[in-house]
Amino acid sequence: MDRKTFLSRMGYTAIGGAALFSTPFGLTGCTPGTQDAEMFFDISLAQWSLNNSFFNGSLDPINFARIARQQFDIGAVEYVNRFYTDHVTDQGYLNELRNIANGEGVESVLIMCDNEGALGDPDPAARQQAAENHYKWLDMASFLGCHSIRVNAASSGSYEEQMQRAADGLRRLSEHAAGMNLGVIVENHGGLSSNAEWLVGVIEMVDMENCGTLPDFGNFRISQDETYDNYRGTEELMPYAKGVSAKSYAFDDNGNEANLDYMRLMQIVKDAGYTGYVGIEYEGDELSESDGIMATKELLMRVGKELADG
């Protein structure tokens, strides 16, 4: 099935790559759907879904909230720190970023933070420095009205050593964040962090209310030779979740994610009592970024409605 046929079956008009950027924020030909009020969760858009367009300059990161609203009719966003490294302390830029979000009625949910050092570094001084490297992102998150920053629990050493080191670094950062009424949430994001049992142990060792998880449906590859079960992992991480990442890669003829059982995953999310944001994070290459986002949104809305009716 080609892309045009797939999108036709999904109930919206295909937008080619050129058309997406032919007018400001890709408004041409787009008739986005709206979220059903009966769903138990809200939908947000992870900026990484458009990472190629931001990296190649086709899109300007300052317009992310506007793109989310006008292109996809999504009213909440999850920023990626890599697109704001040069502006994180630029108050004028941050003012404009916040004003655009407010003007579009878009909520800033969280900032995904990478490349700031290993919070589980074997060296205590390096762990402390990694924690402090995140402070500027907490400041930005507070200014934008986010509830959390998403961090990584990277470490080295034995299973137990990595747990202790990651918990120590996370506690240092979480203590600082607590004074700002912000959360520090950890994604299963490779290495032992993709072992849900290990990550749960880390969060329990930190033992702070504002330190939790961001379960990602797809990131359960521990190493090249080891993968944790996606469904078991999601179920184990959900009791500590302060966010959920709806990873998607490809879709079948019926609009279902070809690699992940979204009905099963979202049932796990619902059973955990979670009612917050579920962030769209499309990482496929069969559809364009915009079409993959819309396909994921349509799937989430359909599954959400079915679970509400069930």
* pLDDT value for 54: 98
Statement: residue 68 has pLDDT above 80: yes
Statement: residue 13 has pLDDT above 60: no
Task: Name, in order, each residue with C-beta under 8 angstroms of 31's C-beta and a sequence gap of 6 or more.
Answer: 12, 13
* pLDDT value for 38: 82
Instruction: Kindly state which CATH superfamily the domain 3-309 is placed in.
Output: Divalent-metal-dependent TIM barrel enzymes (3.20.20.150)
Statement: residue 132 has pLDDT above 70: yes
* pLDDT value for 123: 98
Rounded Cα gap, residues 293 and 283, in angstroms: 9
Q: For residue 11, what pLDDT band results from cuts at 50, 70 and 90?
A: very low
* pLDDT value for 309: 83
Statement: residue 17 has pLDDT above 70: no
Task: Name, in order, each residue with C-beta under 8 angstroms of 40's C-beta and a sequence gap of 6 or more.
Answer: 270, 274, 275, 304, 307, 308
What one-letter code names the amino acid at 71? Q
Lowest-pLDDT range of 25-34, 94-103, 143-152: 25-34
* pLDDT value for 43: 98
Angle separating helix axes 135-144 and 159-178, nearest 10 degrees: 50
Rounded Cα gap, residues 156 and 250, in angstroms: 33
Statement: residue 21 has pLDDT above 70: no
pLDDT by residue (tens digit) across 196-233? 999 999 999 999 999 999 999 999 999 999 999 999 99
Query: Strand ranges (DSSP E) for the chain?
Result: 42-46, 76-80, 107-112, 148-151, 183-187, 211-214, 221-223, 226-227, 244-248, 277-282
Answer with the residue of higher pLDDT: 310 or 291: 291
Rounded Cα gap, residues 288 and 296, in angstroms: 12
| pLDDT over 70, % of the chain | 88
Spacing of C-alpha 92 from chain mean position? 26
Q: For residue 36, what pLDDT band results from cuts at 50, 70 and 90?
A: low
Contacts 24+ apart (CB under 8 A), 290-294: 290/15, 290/20, 290/26, 290/50, 290/71, 290/72, 291/3, 291/7, 291/14, 291/15, 292/49, 292/248, 293/45, 293/49, 293/50, 293/72, 294/7, 294/10, 294/12, 294/32, 294/72
* pLDDT value for 8: 44
Alpha-helical regions (H) of 26-158: 51-55, 64-72, 91-104, 124-133, 135-144
221-223/226-227 β-pairing = antiparallel
User: Are 115 and 84 contacting, i.e. CB atoms less than 8 angstroms apart?
Assistant: no
User: Are 101 and 140 contacting, i.e. CB atoms less than 8 angstroms apart?
Assistant: no
The predicted model gives 183-204 an average pLDDT of 98
Answer with the residue of higher pLDDT: 12 or 202: 202
- Residue position matching structure tokens 């490809």: 250
Q: Within the chain, what is the greatest distance between any pair of CA atoms?
A: 56
Statement: residue 9 has pLDDT above 70: no
* pLDDT value for 37: 67
Q: For residue 4, what pLDDT band results from cuts at 50, 70 and 90?
A: very low
Q: How are strands ordered across the β-sheet holding 148-151?
A: 211-214, 183-187, 148-151, 107-112, 76-80, 42-46, 277-282, 244-248
Rounded Cα gap, residues 2 and 7, in angstroms: 9
User: Are 183 and 147 contacting, i.e. CB atoms less than 8 angstroms apart?
Assistant: yes
